[in-house]
Structure 1
Amino acid sequence: MTRFDIEEFIDRTPIGVTQSITLIVCAMVCFIDGFDLVLLGKIAPAIAKHFGETSAAMTPAFVYQQVGLAVGAFVISPLADRIGRRLMLIIACLFLGIIMLASTQVQSLHMLAVMRGLAGIFMAAGLPMAMALVSELTPLRRRSTFVAVALAGYSMGSAASGIVAAWLLDDFGWQSGFLIGGAVPLVCLPLLLFFVPESLKFCAERNPADVRIAGTVRRLDPNESLRGDEIFVLGSANSKGRRARLVDIFSEGRLTTTALIWAASTLSVTNTVVLGTWLPSFFQEMAGVPIQKFAVVALIGYLGGVGGPLIVGWLMDKTRPALLLASFYVMLAISLNMLAWVPFGTPAFIVVVVCWAFFQSGGSGGINTMMTHIYPPRMRSTALGWAGGAARVGAVIAPIAGGFALAQQFSLKLTLALEAILPLGVALLMLALATVRRESAMITADPEPEGA
């Protein structure tokens, strides 16, 4: 038997067509996540008006969506570490597409809330599995950059939902957003079926003698010479294979790191959910800005936010990730406060919106990118998914908090000042993580010379 080191093979293999197509598909999956997640908040007032209700009546739909996202993160994402990233992505895209298209036919807000909960189950699983897949087919020297490019799809999805609110809402109704949200995941299906391979690292850790591995190796590098008696391993790992266990993300010195990441993810996601759910309504009801006008300005900002994950991914290949993220979240808190103080519609306001979107997308994307370095392949999807699930549990209260601010008629300045506390909390947790990662002898899956 010949030991074939998958880690070494991937790290020395040039970026080719297969990795590029995988990156495109994973970016599309992230696009779906970004689009569907914030779509409801962008068009909530229009949906409520369609059913003869106030904006506050949309709260159950937001809550159900968060519950679905939590369930999906805890249940669906770990399955990717058991039966494969590619297969679970196919399942998630299929069911999400069907549910989104079916949502255009609902006859009540209650039924819409139920559909949002079901959609959330499969929506939550897409991004962790896509990031795990793209990171495991990419050389270490380009891993953070590739993950960041995929995550830029999330920001593009958020921007695209703004297009629905700004230009499609009046002519085609709120259903147009759900039609787009359902079509994109269904487009991903043939690409996943015919062009994207399963993760080599997943296959090798699960079963070093998996017959699919040799075929994928030749697909990535047709010039690779294989004898046919290879046992595929990761680095110095043994050749017996290891199946993922949920407890692995807390073992081998990972407990403190996992706890800090979960806490940071919870605060970060809660911040994103509150703003994604209610920010257009905050400006409409607290500052008298119509949602269509806000959507146009926000669209410019979200396009600027596409650069956040790209820049943070590039910087992560060169510096300590946790310290970098701490600075991003401090700047996010400052930008968020300034949204309430700078007059709407002015050039300065557009600059502030761009900064806010840049630091928010870069920060949240950076946390996910960092996790692809910290956790080994066999538990990577579980780690990403469960961090997201823990965050979603905390974020269930986010729509309620936003609705409370509206009901109590808080000012925009007070509301956003309170909201800015969350990113400051993330910054403190990132500083703590930097200390832990520097001092700890924790074993990581991939070499990380820069540290956290």
Structure 2
Amino acid sequence: MTAPCPADARRTALARRVIIGCAIVAFLDGFDTQAIGPAIPAIAAQLGLKPDAMGSVLGASQVGFLIGAFLFGALGDRFGRKRMLLLTTGLFAVGTMATALSGSLEMLIISRIATGLGLGGASPNFISMVGEFAPEERRARAVTMLWAAVPLGGMVGAYTTGQILPHHGWHAIFVIGALAPLPILVWIAFLFPESREVAPARAAPVRSLFAGDIRTTTLLLWITSFMTWSTLVVTALWLPALLQRAGWSAPQAATMLALNNAGGIVGTLAIGMLIGRSGAHRALIATLGLAGCLIGLMGLLTGTPLAFAILAIGAGCAASAAGGTLLAVSSGTYAPAARSTGIGWALGVGRTGTVLGPLAIGIMLGLGASVATAFAAIALVALIGVLFAVGLARSARSTPVPQGD
């Protein structure tokens, strides 16, 4: 039996450090994003607001996320993905602490925008780093399975909120979320390499995403991203509040959110084991379609807790798997030097849906829409997204991935 080459062993160890570190950042993303959902009624009560008005708070972090993804994805391609990952992780720690200290709606919105800037800026850079340092034959699997850390963080965030909220209030939840990133900042600073794909002298301009035949693929990717992230994030953000509107208690609603995230972990890991480079598009179509069907059924069965729990797990499984496969599709679409730019813009456009979605659901509820109607609206977005995912798969088959800088 041949002993492993020292150089190969070093590359493997380096890839492991990068993947673990990026997974922790993804975990913190999920924790912050979904910890706030169960806390919305308590925050609204303390600030003297109606829960329906909190849609602006939920949307604020998504505004920050999309700006951060647009901005820091391109900056990562130019100035270094490690540097941008350090900067953005620190930024969302500061924004989360500011959330804990907020005493007004205006301060809360500003804090959530700052948090979103950090989370949005971190995402394209940690996805790109995993895509670069994972072995090429396992890139799609590694990027997809990385996404499992987000619902894991969401599950822990939802559970933590349910346990801490009744005893220590909502402020304590965000203090925990602000302190948690500090150790990973040390990890990134001392154990991460800088990306070899970065060309410091010049950025990968956004116009390169529309060069030649790839422009059609880019447009379809953006629309599919909009539909996929709208489905995934809006469901998670509004699930606790919708269930409480349907008569569930806050702990019961938080439990359903935790189950939804548990399904997301299982689904993302499973789809990551099953797909290869050629299977990511088919997996995206199947999982997004299944998510739409299950979310629609959830709205019809809020009065049947056991059936709802099963659907919540299944919807989380399918929607999170769709998000993971979309990341794999995005990572494999562009040339290495434009990877963070391409991923950042796909994520940013996708997150416009998660800005508009929470606001739309809040408006619908304010106008008297039922809980079932709200779930049906989310389901419809997913099913429309399937149509664009089919077009994306066809376009990608006819468009070679550009190589080089």
In structure 1, stretches of 5+ residues that fail to align are: 1-8, 208-240, 447-452
Equivalent position to 1:350, from 299, 309, 312? 309
Q: Structure 1's 126 and 344: CA in aligned 2 closer, same or farther, altered over 3 A?
A: farther
Where 2:208 maps in the other structure, the secondary structure is helix
Q: Which amino acid aligns with 1:100?
A: T
Question: Structure 2: any 5+ residue segments left out of the alignment?
Answer: none
Residue 361 of structure 2 corresponds to which residue in structure 1? 402
Letter in 2 for 1:30: A
1:27 paired residue number:
23
Matches within 5 A, 1:125-140: 125-140=121-136
Aligned-residue offset at 1:249:
1.3
**Aligned-residue offset at 1:309:** 2.1
**What's the CA shift for 1:345?**
6.0
Say yes or no: does 1:56 pair with 2:52.
Answer: yes
- Give the Cα separation in 2 of the matches to 1:49 and 1:372: 42
Mapped partners of 1:345, 1:29: distance in 2: 36
Larger radius of gyration: 1
Q: What RMSD over aligned residues (CA atoms) do the two structures have, in Å?
A: 2.2
Q: Deviations over 1:351-404 (max 9, x none)?
A: 211110001111011111111111121011111111121223343222221111
1:442 aligns with one of 381, 400, 403: 400
What SS class does the counterpart of residue 289 from structure 1 fall into?
coil
Q: Does residue 258 of structure 2 align to residue 262 of structure 1?
A: no
Distance 1:344 1:188 in 2: 42
Any conservation in 2 of the 1:148–1:309 contact (CA below 8 Å)? yes
Matches within 5 A, 1:282-361: 282-285=242-245, 287-317=246-276, 319-344=278-303, 346-361=305-320
Contact map agreement 2:85 2:126 (CA 8 A) in 1: yes
* 1:211 corresponding residue in structure 2: none
Q: Aligned residue for 2:377?
A: 418
Distance 2:273 2:91 in 1: 34
Contact conserved, 1:338 with 1:352, CA < 8 A, in 2? yes
CA contact (8 A) 2:232 2:320 kept: no
How many angstroms apart in 2 are the aligned matches of 1:284 and 1:200? 49
Q: Distance in 1 between matches of 2:100 and 2:172?
A: 8
**Distance (Å, rounded) in 2 between the aligned partners of 1:54 and 1:83:** 44
**Is residue 252–residue 443 contact of structure 1 (8 Å, CA) maintained in 2?**
no
In 2, the alpha carbon distance for the partners of 1:304 and 1:419 equals 18
- Are positions 1:390 and 2:349 aligned together? yes
User: Which amino acid in structure 2 is aligned with residue 34 of structure 1?
Assistant: G
Secondary structure in structure 2 of the residue aligned to 1:201: coil
Offset, 1:243: 4.5
How far apart in 2 are the matches of 1:106 and 1:242? 40
For 2:55, the aligned partner's letter is T
The offset of 1:121, in angstroms, is 1.1
The aligned residue for residue 381 of structure 1 is 340
Distance 1:347 1:60 in 2: 32
Structure 2 distance, partners of 1:128, 1:312, is: 21
SS across alignment from 2:180? helix
Distance 1:396 1:324, change over 3 A: same
Please state whether the residue corresponding to 2:332 is helix, strand or coil: helix
| 1:348 alignment partner AA | A
Give the Cα separation in 2 of the matches to 1:99 and 1:443.
37
Q: Indicate which of 117, 138, 143 corresponds to 2:139.
A: 143
Contact 2:59 2:356 in 1 (8 A): yes
Aligned pair partner of 2:97 in 96, 101, 106:
101
The 2-side partners of 1:420 and 1:379 are apart by: 33
Task: In structure 2, give the amino acid aligned to 1:442.
Answer: P
Q: 1:445 to 1:371 in 2, by over 3 A?
A: farther
2: CA distance, partners of 1:441 / 1:178? 45
Structure 2: which amino acid aligns with 1:377?
A: P
Q: Output the amino acid matched with 2:226.
A: T
- CA deviations 1:50-77 (Å, max 9, x no partner) are 2222202213222322221221111122
Does the Cα contact within 8 Å between 1:137 and 1:200 map onto a contact in 2?
no
The structural deviation recorded for 1:273 is 3.4
Q: Identity rate of aligned residues, in percent?
A: 28
- Describe the superposition over 1:97-132 as per-residue Cα deviations: whole angstroms up to 9, x where unpaired: 122113211221221111111111111011111010
**Contact 2:96–2:175 (8 Å) recurs in 1:** yes
Contact kept? 1:30, 1:127, Cα under 8 Å: yes
CA contact 1:34–1:157 (8 Å) conserved in 2: yes
Whether 2:82 is the aligned partner of 1:86: answer yes
Structure 1 counterpart of 2:38, from 32, 39, 42:
42
Q: Is the 8 A contact 1:242 1:378 kept in 2?
A: no
CA distance, structure 2, for counterparts of residue 325 and residue 368 of structure 1: 10
How far apart, CA to CA, are the structure 1 residues paired with 2:401 and 2:373? 44
Taking the aligned partners of 1:431 and 1:376, their CA distance within structure 2 comes to 22
Cα 1:243/1:298, change in 2 over 3 Å: closer
Q: CA deviation at 1:336?
A: 0.4
Q: Pick the aligned partner of 1:158 from 154, 157, 163.
A: 154
1:16 alignment counterpart: 12
Number of residue pairs matched by the alignment = 399
**Matched AA of 1:300:** L
Q: Distance in 2 between matches of 1:343 and 1:405?
A: 18
- Cα displacement string for residues 138-186 of structure 1 (whole angstroms, at most 9, x for unaligned residues): 1112212221232111111111121133211111211122122212222
User: Deviation at 1:343?
Assistant: 5.0
Deviates more, 1:77-86 or 1:42-51: 42-51
**TM-score of the aligned structures, taking structure 1 as reference length:** 0.83
